[in-house]
Amino acid sequence: MIRTFQIDDMSYIIHSHYQIYNKEYGYDLTFRDFITESVDGFIKRSDPKENIWILEIDGHPRGSISIKKVNENVAQLGLFLVEPEYRGSGYGKKLIEKAISFCQENNYKTIILWTNDQLQLARHLYESIGFQLVETRFQTLSNQKLLEEKWKLNIGGGTNESYGFF
C-alpha cells in the first residue's frame, strides 16, 4: 500500500535513508542531515502542491518518495527509497507512478530529479519511465566525489498513457 506521509514517518525516512546509503555506498552523517533538512522543509512549507508517500508492507514502512515544488511548472522528485529486500518487485515503479500522477493533478509541466551515477537500479527505472538525463556535475557530497545527474520528465499536456505505465 502507498499512503500519504504522517508525522510519525519522519524518523523512518531519515533513518532508513541514512542506514541504507551508509551501508551500500558509505555515505556519512552529512547525508542524514540532508535528509533531515528535506523532511523538515516539507513539514514547514506545508504546501498542498507537495507530498511525501510511504510504501507500507504488512503494516511497516518499506520505502518513500516525495514531490517538492520548484515553481508553478516544475516539481522535483526526491526521497526515493525502496528497502533492499523489496527492490525488483515493482514497488519503486508504483511509487514513481504515484508521484507523477500527483504532479499531473497539480498541473506541473516538468518533473526533475537529482541522483548520481552510483545508483544504477534507480537510474534504469527513471530511464524506463521516460526521464532523460539533462545535466551532470561533479560534487563532493557525503565526503565522496560523486557524479551528480539531473534527470527531467516533461508531463505538460500529456496523458498517463504516453508514459506507458498505467
Q: What is the pLDDT of residues 41-80, one digit of tens each?
A: 999 999 999 999 999 999 999 999 999 999 999 999 999 9
| pLDDT of 2 higher than 50 | yes
Model-level pTM? 0.91
Work out the widest C-alpha separation in the chain, in whole angstroms. Answer: 41
Query: How is residue 28 annotated by DSSP?
Result: -
Contact 109, 49 (CB under 8 A): no
Instruction: Count the neighbouring beta carbons within 10 Å of the beta carbon of residue 126.
Output: 23
| pLDDT of 165 higher than 70 | no
Instruction: Please tell me whether residue 156 adopts helix, strand or coil conformation.
Output: coil
| pLDDT of 160 higher than 80 | no
Per the prediction, the chain carries an average pLDDT of 93
Strands (E), 58-159: 60-69, 74-82, 110-116, 132-141, 144-154
Q: Structural domain boundaries of the chain?
A: 2-163
Please report how the helices 29-45 and 9-25 are oriented relative to each other, as an axis angle in degrees rounded to 10: 150
Q: What architecture is the 2-163 domain classified under in CATH?
A: 3-Layer(aba) Sandwich (3.40)
- Across the range 90-107, mean pLDDT stands at 97
Block residue for cell numbers 527531467: 152
